Amino acid sequence: MLVFAGTGIAVWRAAHTDDARTVDRVDAILVLGAAQYDGDPSPVFAGRLEHAQLLYDEGRSDTIVVLGGGAPGDRTTEAEAGRDWLVAQGVPAEAVVASPVGSTTLESLRPPRHG
């Protein structure tokens, strides 16, 4: 019973700890893309965008970078949908950068190759 209670406490603490709050200031807040439906972020994506907006509003950074490409047939990319959503929520357009590259998280995070 003690092991079960200890595990429950550990899981609760992990779910309620926001490591981003231990950092005062960063160069940019990165938002990993997730599903978007014709420009509307999925609930998971909207949650990520809301968290980025909260960090921005707290003055943690002057820039939000939204990552994520599009799937064949999409009219917009995850990055563009996320940028549009943040701007519609009141984040200044000049503070939000869309990086519509990659169809996976790794591809979105990989630096561009030159040459």
Domain definitions of the chain by residue range: 26-109
Q: What confidence tier does 4 reach under pLDDT thresholds 50, 70, 90?
A: low
Interval 55-89: pLDDT, tens: 999 999 999 999 998 888 888 999 999 999 999 99
Token couple for 3: 């092991």
* Residue of 50 and 110 predicted with greater confidence: 50
- pTM (2 decimals)? 0.75
Residues 39 and 74: beta-carbon distance below 8 Å? no
Return the beta strands (E) in 1-115 as ranges: 29-31, 36-37, 40-41, 64-67, 96-99
Alpha-carbon distance of 43 to 70, in angstroms, equals 17
The mean pLDDT of 88-96, rounded to a whole number, is 98
For residues 64 and 49, what is the distance between their CA atoms, to the nearest angstrom? Answer: 9
> How far from each other are the two terminal CA atoms of the chain, in whole angstroms?
61
The region of weakest confidence among 23-27, 31-35, 78-82 is 23-27
